[in-house]
């Protein structure tokens, strides 16, 4: 990843404050010009303090100058003190940057139910601001991760009305050694000049095929956050929510989102295989997604993939219990290109069984023969390592 | 288990036919007098042939003389040939017993997508009938299990109108080394004279607090079956669907069902701990059950229990993502009697942490503070052994 992939007008940094051991645990995303911002937060009823604060801020004032992210402590289930801590983080960053307090959003990930080590964080904000740079994308990407095995940065460029527009995202994946619930954090920065409506529409659409189409273990975090910040520094003509420029923006945003989401899955704890579950022939997109999710969420299917066993019986059973309507007598199951079930009955020619589920990437295709909609969900296998990481840990 | 716990008028047997290696794989439950029968079948859209047949038979003629059960092959996704095989099993048993073909139900559990080895099964039916006895409950209980570590038999007696009534059930648990989807089979026999309505009502009610309140890995089988057969041989006055006699019947049926269901959970593959998740203070029974199910189904919670870690953060998060309405600021979480969360905030007194989740039985209590309904769901922890059993197996 070339450092110069940062969109115009953004500066970022990542430092070590001492919340976590040995790794950078604080990141800052800053735009010299305030950004229009779209965001998606967890649907979990139990929401961490910084998310409650950010939702409030975005409602009041949608122009964002900076986002500070800490890893190591989720600031969740910390009551009134947790809210005060989140507010103070925003305030201290605003002071150091010389911007409005409402223009600074806060994100946290890490352990639930411990008060934030405010002295460490506040004590590091000066350093964090001083480190802001056009060349610190790797440091910022490192500052937001917890147990991830690798940093996640994706960038795309395109031309709109003669101007080059850059979209660059960083994400934190599903590491869960500490009880941080597989929190997914993602910050996407762009220098596009784009209307607020278009920005919101584009993020919602991109998320449907990426962040909302991945599952590692079915658990939804208290801190999940995806933010898209646009500072208009590219100087293009404002992109509205339709037309060719919007389509180009949507396409590139989809690519960035999907690639980051796939990286999150590939980095699933203990995972050895990447699984795409594609459901075709559904009556509605919702049905396709629901059926794909049921298959991707099945422990038995994940175990089968781990074992390299093309166990179509488990796949059929999980579709059957998904609640999605289909005619079992027309079901078709194709694994890594080999047909195992046709018209609801197992296909006797199993010559290629040995070639299926043996690579690092696995494709499960299920045709419900009920309509024309299709959807994919991305997941990973489950291994003993996952159990080990999540069980043999003491608070 | 004393063999004389079999209700009056029933004879049972269990033999080895060769479908499975080394273990009894065929069982027969027979009543000299045809039985009124209530049954619950899987809600999975993909349903095995014998279930389709049994549903059809029970609609046509509710009087059942016998149930034949084979383990080792599920007769599922086997198309028209599978249906003919199931019908033939019923026909051959009827011939050997001298009863109507429609009065013989068939159950199968085992591998999906292979045709039934009909020669082995048909060839053993004579022997199975010959072995029918008042003293073969253990053999029958063994005939229905697959990878279960122990047989599951529960019996209760009570007096109604001066007559002794016996209710005896056997079950097959959630063993899943072979891809048989954790199929749960349960046959409950009673000599009570009870109306068809009352029988149906009692089974539905008993299942809600037992078979429908357990989860091992969230996967629902293509072959799940619970049957309740009543032959009226106790000579009691017919039990109607209300009144004291019905209440007594319901109570004992609940006990038999709940105990069998708990045995199924305790025998969950690789399980080391039995977990009761109790959700209190819900607005409706449905909400309580849904929230309890979300907690019981969380991989992260199961891992935490395995590790002896009272990880209330994971529990709060899974309730939060269950979709059940509650006020996070009033949430209370009590683990093995120790309060960890009060009014939505972690409880700082954690002195007793070392005493929690250390025994074989674990109790998770969550109060939603939203109403007065409560429900329990029973589950087990997840271990590396589970992964091993379900992954390292080749079709």
3-state secondary structure of A143: helix
d(CA B112, CA A329): 15
Classify residue B322 as exposed, middle or buried by CB count within 10 Å of its CB (0-12, 13-18, 19+): buried
Strand order through the sheet with B332-335: B345-346, B338-342, B332-335, B361-367, B274-282, B373-380
Judge if B190 and B323 occupy the same domain: no
The yes-or-no verdict on residue A83 having pLDDT over 90 is: yes
From the list A166, A183, A190, A225, the catalytic residue is A183
State the burial class of residue B372 (Cβ atoms within 10 Å of its Cβ: 0-12, 13-18, 19+).
Answer: exposed
pLDDT digits (tens, 9 = 90+) for A44-68: 889 999 999 999 999 998 899 999 9
Q: What is the pLDDT of residue B265?
A: 87
Examine the residue annotation and report whether B183 is marked as an active-site residue of this protein: yes
Structure tokens at B43: 């809600």
pLDDT score for A351: 63
Instruction: Count Cα atoms within 13 angstroms, Cβ side, for A33.
Output: 15
With beta carbons under 8 A apart, name residues in chain B contacting A383: 387, 391
Single out the residue in B221, B245, B266 at which a domain terminates: B266
Q: How far is A29 from chain B (nearest CA, A)?
A: 28
Q: Which tens digit of pLDDT belongs to each residue from B342-357?
A: 999 987 665 667 778 9
Least Cα separation, residue B245 to chain A (angstroms): 37
Alpha-carbon gap, residue B189 to B7, rounded angstroms: 7
The domain containing residue A319 runs over which residues? 274-391
Q: Which of B266, B294, B315 marks a domain boundary? A: B266
Q: Residue B184 has what pLDDT?
A: 87
Closest-CA residue of chain B to A331: B46
For A243-272, the pLDDT digits (tens) are: 999 999 999 999 999 999 999 888 887 889
Asked if the Cβ–Cβ distance from A321 to B219 is below 8 Å, we say yes
Task: For residue B70, give both structure tokens.
Answer: 């084979």
CATH number at residue B135: 3.60.70.12
Cβ neighbours around A13 below 10 Å, total: 24
The reported pLDDT for the residue numbered A265 is 87
H helix intervals, B307-383:
312-320
B299 — phi, psi (to 5°)? -60, -35
Residues of A in contact with B331 (CB under 8 A): 46
Closest CA to A169 of A255, A62, A55: A255
pLDDT at B349: 60
Q: A187 and A219, same structural domain?
A: yes
B248 to chain A, minimum CA–CA distance in Å? 34
Whether residue B158 is found in the same domain as residue B293: no
Measured distance CA(B69)–CA(B30) in Å, rounded: 11
Q: Are the beta carbons of B387 and A383 separated by less than 8 Å?
A: yes
Average of per-residue pLDDT values in chain A: 90
Condensed to tens digits (0 to 9), the pLDDT of residues A158-201 reads 999 899 999 999 999 865 433 344 678 999 999 999 999 999 99
Do A278 and A229 share a structural domain? no
**Same domain for B363 and B233?**
no
Closest-approach residue (CA) in chain A for B395:
A309
Name the E strands within B336-384.
Answer: 338-342, 345-346, 361-367, 373-380
Q: What percent of chain B stands above pLDDT 70?
A: 94
**Chain A interface, mutation test: which of B283, B300, B310, B384, most A Cβ atoms within 10 Å?**
B300
Same domain, A235 and A306: no
Contacts of B181 in chain A (CB under 8 A): 300, 313-314, 317
- pLDDT, position B1: 45
* Contact call for A45 and B326, based on CB within 8 A: yes
- Terminal Cα-to-Cα distance of chain A (whole angstroms): 36
Q: Which of B84, B111, B176, B321 is most worth mutating to test chain A (most A CB atoms within 10 A of its CB)? A: B321
Measured from the Cβ of residue A360, the count of other Cβ atoms closer than 10 Å reads: 9
Nearest-Cα distance to chain A for B110, in Å, is 11
Q: Does A390 contact B218 at a Cβ distance shorter than 8 Å?
A: no
Contact B390 A179 (CB under 8 A): no
Q: How far apart are CA B199 and CA B201, in angstroms?
A: 6
The size of the A-B interface in CB pairs under 8 A is 217
Q: Kindly state whether residues A285 and A259 are assigned to the same domain.
A: no
For residue A269, what is the nearest residue in chain B, using CA coordinates? B300
Query: B236, B266, B296: which is the final residue of a domain?
Result: B266
Q: Residues A229, A360: one domain?
A: no
**Residues A165/A234, Cβ–Cβ less than 8 Å:** yes
Treating both helix axes as pointing N-terminal to C-terminal, what angle do B312-320 and B299-306 enclose, rounded to 10 degrees? 160
Q: Which of B37, B78, B166, B183 is catalytic?
A: B183
Which among B114, B181, B317 has CB closest to A300?
Answer: B181
Angle between helices A299-306 and B384-391 (to 10 degrees): 70
Residues B97 and B241 placed together within one structural domain of the fold:
yes
Q: How far apart are CA A265 and CA A56, in angstroms?
A: 30
Note the pLDDT tens digit of each residue in B51-68: 999 999 999 988 999 999
Asked if A261 contacts A214 with a C-beta cutoff of 8 angstroms, the reply is yes
CB contact under 8 A, A390 and B300: yes
Q: Does residue A233 share a domain with residue A347?
A: no
Q: What is the pLDDT of residues A189-236, one digit of tens each?
A: 999 999 999 999 999 999 999 988 887 766 678 888 999 999 999 999
- Distance between CA B315 and CA B293 in Å, rounded? 11
Check the CA dihedral B299-B301-B302-B306 and report its sign: positive
Of B176, B298, B328, nearest to A46 by CB-CB distance is B328
Q: Tokens 């008028």 correspond to what residue?
A: B9
Q: What is the pLDDT of residue B351?
A: 63
B105, B64 in Cβ contact below 8 A? yes
Distance from C-alpha of A141 to C-alpha of B347, rounded to nearest angstrom: 34
Per-residue pLDDT tens over the stretch A109-140? 988 888 999 999 999 999 999 999 999 999 99
Do residues A32 and A152 both lie within one domain?
yes
Q: Do A320 and B76 touch (CB under 8 A)?
A: no
Give residue B6's pLDDT: 96
**Chain A residue with the nearest C-alpha to that of B42:** A321
Nearest CA in chain A to B115: A346
Number of compact structural domains in chain B: 2
CATH number for the domain spanning B288: value is: 3.10.20.340
Q: How far apart are CA B72 and CA B376, in angstroms?
A: 32
Query: Residue B346: closest CA among chain A residues belongs to which residue?
Result: A113
**Residues B174 and B280 reside in one and the same domain:** no
- A29 has a pLDDT exceeding 70: yes
Contact at CB, B306 and A341, closer than 8 angstroms: no
- Cβ-in-10-Å burial (0-12, 13-18, 19+) of B394 comes to exposed
Q: Contact at 8 Å (CB) between B350 and B381?
A: no
Q: Which residue stretches of chain B have pLDDT < 70?
A: 1-4, 174-182, 217-219, 348-352, 392-395
């Amino acid at each position: 990843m070339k450092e110069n992939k940062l969109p115009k007008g953004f500066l970022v940094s990542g430092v070590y404050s001492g919340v976590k051991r040995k790794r950078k645990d604080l990141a800052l995303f800053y735009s010299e010009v305030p950004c229009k911002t779209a965001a998606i937060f967890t649907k979990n009823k139990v929401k961490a303090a910084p998310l409650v604060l950010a939702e409030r801020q975005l409602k009041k004032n949608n122009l964002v100058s900076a986002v500070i992210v800490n890893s190591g402590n989720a600031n969740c289930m910390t009551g009134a003190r947790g809210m005060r801590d989140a507010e103070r983080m925003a305030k201290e960053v605003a002071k150091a940057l010389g911007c409005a307090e409402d223009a600074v959003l806060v994100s946290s990930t890490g352990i639930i139910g411990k008060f934030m080590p405010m002295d460490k964080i506040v004590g590091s904000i000066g350093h964090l601001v001083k480190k802001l740079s056009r060349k610190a994308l790797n440091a910022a990407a490192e500052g937001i991760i917890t147990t991830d095995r690798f940093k996640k940065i994706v960038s795309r460029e395109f031309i709109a009305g003669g101007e080059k527009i850059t979209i660059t995202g960083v994400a934190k994946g599903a590491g869960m050694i500490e009880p941080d619930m597989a929190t997914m954090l993602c910050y996407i920065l762009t220098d596009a000049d784009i209307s607020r409506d278009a920005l919101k529409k584009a993020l919602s659409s991109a998320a449907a095929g990426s962040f909302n189409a991945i599952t590692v273990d079915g658990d939804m975090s208290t801190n999940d956050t995806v933010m898209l910040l646009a500072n208009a520094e590219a100087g293009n003509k404002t992109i509205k929510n339709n037309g060719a420029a919007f389509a180009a923006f949507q396409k590139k945003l989809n690519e960035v989102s999907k690639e980051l989401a796939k990286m999150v899955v590939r980095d699933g704890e203990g995972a050895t295989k990447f699984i795409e579950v594609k459901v075709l022939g559904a009556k509605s997109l919702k049905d396709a997604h629901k059926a794909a999710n049921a298959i991707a969420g099945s422990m038995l299917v994940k175990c089968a993939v781990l074992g390299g066993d093309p166990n179509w019986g488990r796949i059929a059973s999980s579709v059957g219990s998904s609640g999605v309507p289909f005619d079992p007598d027309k079901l078709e199951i194709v694994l890594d290109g080999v047909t195992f079930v046709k018209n609801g009955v197992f296909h006797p020619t199993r010559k290629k069984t040995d070639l299926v589920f043996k690579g690092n990437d696995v494709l499960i295709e299920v045709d419900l023969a009920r309509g024309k909609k299709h959807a994919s969900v991305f997941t990973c296998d489950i291994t003993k390592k996952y159990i080990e990481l999540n069980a043999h840990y003491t608070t």
